[in-house]
A and B are shown apart, each in its own frame.
Chain A
Amino acid sequence: MIRGLKVEKRLYRPRWLSVLIPVSGMILALIASGFFMYLLGVSPLKAFKEVIYSALGSKYGISETIVKAVPLALAGIAVLLSFKMIIWNIGAEGQIVIGALATTAVVRYMFIDNPIVMFILMIMASCIAGGLWAAFAGYLKARWNVNEIITTLMLNYIAIHLMEHFIYGPWRDPASLGFPMTKPFPDAARLYQFADTRVHVGIIIAIILGLLFYWIFKNTRWGYEVRVIGENPRAADFAGINYVWNVVFVMFLSGAICGIAGMTEIAGLQGRLQSGFSGGFGYTAIIVAWLARLNPLSVLFVSFFMGILLVGGDTLQIVMRLPLSSTLVIQGLILFFLLGGEFFRRYRIKFITGKEQ
């Protein structure tokens, strides 16, 4: 007879749990969202088939999934770096925008008609601009303990309004009929796209960065320092690890990678800077980083998975005539079950059995 429940922290976390929990979370999510679609009068099986087919069923589908996944992967790796150190950089969105702004500035004012030179210039400009933007918040945090959640979030608004200033004002394309966007970038400032798809060089950068940081955290002195700071800042102090420098540096890196994400998004995909180009993936990246349990390699897979959800969501709207909000509900349900499963990896529930006295 079960008379009570008790939640205990797991002393050991068996390996099979890290497979079983996400898989069962996914199954529960599919059941729940299937039920939801049933309520909307849509056949869940048909909808799931539609999602899978549209996102993975054709070359075009896969390429679109990748196109959605690339900025998520880049920004996911970026925020993961700061999260590892318990620095909550939620300013990816702003850093992406700043990276895109710097890219546009380079294209406007330093244009050289050579794709390789332009690529290097754009990457450097977006890294430095995004990096400094984030490092500023990092310095305030490290030096005076100013809450970085607030500063990075507020810097997002500043960045977005700064961009609007330029695209509504001095950088607006006279031929845009009043739309807030710049002129299309010249060809030399466009990133290489693979085989008739919209997949651009950003995917290579994302994979390289994922592998690189995976290796760095595992095998380098600096990776060790970051992990020590994240696990126990007092112990880091005790070991003589320079907290201020590391926080500023990690925030710089984080912002720099976001900057690259902004650059690849406009130079690789959209070909110009326009209002709302990022569509909030700087925030989605936070979920990606957590779903990947702060593992840079997992980020690549998780963002691909998110890409499926995004492409599938679009399809549901078009093919199944579901409203946008209902596809967001389905995406939310899936994330809810996956993130909720994390709890069971860290805790276990004990049933208290026995007879009542």
Chain B
Amino acid sequence: MSFQQNCCLVEMKNITKKFAGFHANDKVDFDVRPGEVHALLGENGAGKSTLMNVLCGLYFQEEGTISIENRIVELKNPKDAILNGIGMVHQHFMLVPSQTVWENMILGLDNIPQFLPKHRVIEKIKEISKKYGLHVDPEAKTWQLSIGEQQRVAILRVLYRQASVLILDEPTAVLTPQESKKLFQTVMQMRSEGHGIVFISHKLDEVMEFSDRITILRKGRKIATVETDSVTKQRLAEMMVGEKVAFSVDKPDMDPGKTVMEIDNISVLNDRGREAVRNISLELRQNEIIGVAGIAGNGQNELCEAIVGLRKPVSGKIYMFGKDLTSARPKAYISEGVRYIPADRKGTGLIPNMNINENAILKKYWQKPVSRGFRIDWRAVLDFAKAIVDKFHVDAPSMETPVRNLSGGNLQKLMLGRELKDEPNLLVAVHPTWGLDVAATTFVRETLLLERSRGASILFVSEDLSELVSISDRLAVIHGGEFMGMIDDPSSVDLETVGLMMAGTPASEIFPGGKS
């Protein structure tokens, strides 16, 4: 054998994976050594997830070999991969929503007795949770958990299977800085125990800080594998996109215009019937971006759903341009120019099995020119959808392509284009840059700022603090369904202060003088 004995936990050689003639991976080499964090970097559609799906047995490569500890293996299904010590935490976590956390934990394991050893499983979950700081209620139903909590379950599941190679697909995308820090403590601990960790990311800062080696993919090809110490961020970005990209966005100074929506002391329940938002008041004004910072599952989703009319508050009032919309139907909100970019693109924002045309008119199908009387004019639809696709550079084989075949970035561009098509008065955007590559992220941020200049009011929920701080005009910090405070000048506040507020310290305690 040409390589050193015991050099690698996993070695992938010459991997080629095609989808309908398109090379998702083209002769890619990749390896993971024991006790290292190996970052996999690349734009959307570069083939990172595909490569890792081959490694975890979901796809089978057309060409190339995989060896685990110098033994060539065939990973025909995820079970083979698990048996070979490979565990993956997917971007979409692949949990069974109707089952509890502990049931998800043992799903697909061998040697599970007929009578489920519930208490033993829960004990073990608690043990792992404690060790790695991944707190979650083992008896909660998975569908009731926030996206952040679900990720913890997915990570726990891999740890539960004692994987020697842990693949994390965009793990920090939905975490707060504190949560990410904890995650990396977990990762570092696993590294010191001799595990190999593959870490798929777009965030150059994280990659620079936490990885030992970096492999860069572009358009299905491997560009390079480098030692992290030997590169700069700028160089990485260039290898990723093949061109230089600006990291900062220009944000013109602007005074807020008139009030678009006034939220007066609303409380909102979550799916479990518990109070998820408590007595929140907020004024949303033109030409203003209000950021909402908070740890996943602290009421952000419920707040946003209340603001766009999908979830009725149990108390309090919502006024749009002075009109009481508290008990109005969601369509009334849409007619008033409220648009929404939900975090869950394929689950809520788009219809995966329908094509681009049909998805483009989701917020328009009852209005001219798309609709004539009770009919839909498909020629007008095509024009309408084409305009969105052109303006927002959605890259798709044809307008009849089902959107389930589009990459994450293109999905987001399509949804953004659709929601912005009618120049909304109010845009609620939740994690709009989640999982996007550098170019698409910049595009989304610039688009939001353009909307602000045009006169829209924007509520911007994100868990990327530096993004929030650089884009927002005001920053609200939410914890336990309540605002901990409103920061009027986000760029001047240090991240530690925001972190404290996210952890539940009200601004009044941090700034006793009463600032903000």
Contacts and interface: CB of A to CB of B under 8 A. Distances in A.
Contacts of A165: none
Interface in B285-334: 309-310, 329-331, 333-334
Among B331, B344, B365, the one with the most A-chain Cβ atoms within 10 Å of its Cβ is B365
Given A232-B351, A234-B348, A352-B74, A224 B358 contact: yes
A147 to B, nearest CB: 14
B354 A227 contact: yes
B247 interface: no
A133 B347 CA distance: 33
Contacts of B353: 231-232
A235 B350 contact: yes
B399 to A, nearest CB: 16
B405 interface: yes
Contacts of A4: 74, 76
A238 B60 contact: no
A12 B20 contact: yes
A224 B366 CA distance: 10
Nearest to A215: B375
A232 B352 contact: yes
Given A235-B349, A238-B342, A240-B331, A11 B405 contact: yes
B340 interface: yes
A242 interface: yes
A145 interface: no
A350 interface: yes
A228 interface: yes
A222 interface: yes
Contacts of A239: 330, 334, 362-363, 365
A220 B376 contact: yes
Nearest to B62: A350
Contacts of A234: 344, 347-348
A221 interface: yes
Interface string A340-357: 000000000010100001
A15 interface: no
Contact of A224 (B347, B348, B350, B376): B376
Q: Is the interface of B mostly helix, strand, loop or mixed?
A: loop
B371 interface: yes
Contact of B76 (A6, A221, A357): A6
Contact of A352 (B20, B76, B354): B76
Nearest to B311: A237
A240 B76 contact: no
A325 interface: no
A240 B365 contact: no
Interface in A206-248: 219-225, 227-228, 231-232, 234-235, 237-240, 242
A237 B353 CA distance: 17
A235 B362 contact: yes
B19 interface: yes
Contacts of B366: 221
Contacts of A220: 374-376
A238 B76 contact: no
Interface residues of A, number: 26
B72 interface: yes
A231 B354 contact: yes
Given A11-B19, A228-B351, A231-B351, A219 B331 contact: no
Interface string B364-385: 0110000100111010000000
Name, among A11, A239, A350, A352, the residue most crowded by chain B CB atoms within 10 Å (CB to CB). A239
Nearest to B348: A234
A239 to B, nearest CB: 5
Contacts of B72: 357
Nearest to B381: A224
A11 B402 CA distance: 10
A133 to B, nearest CB: 27
Contact of A238 (B310, B361, B378): B310
B365 A221 contact: yes
Contacts of A227: 354, 358
A221 B376 contact: yes
Nearest to A240: B331
Interface in B465-494: none
B503 to A, nearest CB: 31
Contacts of B350: 232, 235
Contacts of A224: 358, 361, 365, 376
A235 B331 CA distance: 13
Contact of B330 (A3, A223, A240, A350): A240
A240 B348 CA distance: 12
A6 B60 contact: yes
Contact of A11 (B20, B371, B378): B20
Contacts of B358: 224, 227
B404 to A, nearest CB: 9
Nearest to A216: B374
Given A4-B76, A219-B375, A235 B330 contact: no
A12 B366 CA distance: 30
A239 B419 CA distance: 11
B329 A240 contact: yes
Contacts of B344: 234
Contacts of A231: 351-354
A213 to B, nearest CB: 14
Contacts of A222: 374
A190 to B, nearest CB: 36
Interface in A1-42: 3-4, 6, 11-12
Of A224, A225, A237, A357, most B-chain CB atoms within 10 Å = A224
B423 to A, nearest CB: 18
Contact of B375 (A221, A225, A238, A357): A221
Given A235-B349, A238-B348, A228 B329 contact: no
Contacts of A238: 310, 330, 340, 342, 348-349, 362
A73 to B, nearest CB: 25
Contacts of A242: 329, 331
A227 B342 CA distance: 21
B339 to A, nearest CB: 10
Contacts of A235: 348-351, 362
Contacts of A3: 74
A141 to B, nearest CB: 18
A219 B19 contact: no
Given A227-B354, A232-B347, 14 more contacts: A11-B19, A222-B374, A224-B361, A224-B365, A228-B362, A231-B351, A231-B353, A232-B352, A234-B347, A237-B310, A237-B348, A238-B342, A238-B362, A352-B74
29 contacts: A6-B60, A11-B19, A11-B405, A12-B20, A219-B376, A220-B374, A221-B365, A221-B371, A221-B376, A223-B376, A224-B358, A227-B354, A228-B354, A231-B351, A231-B352, A232-B347, A232-B348, A232-B350, A234-B347, A238-B330, A238-B342, A239-B330, A239-B334, A239-B362, A239-B365, A240-B331, A240-B333, A242-B329, A357-B72
9 closest A-B pairs by CB: A240-B331, A240-B330, A232-B351, A234-B348, A239-B362, A231-B351, A357-B72, A240-B334, A235-B351
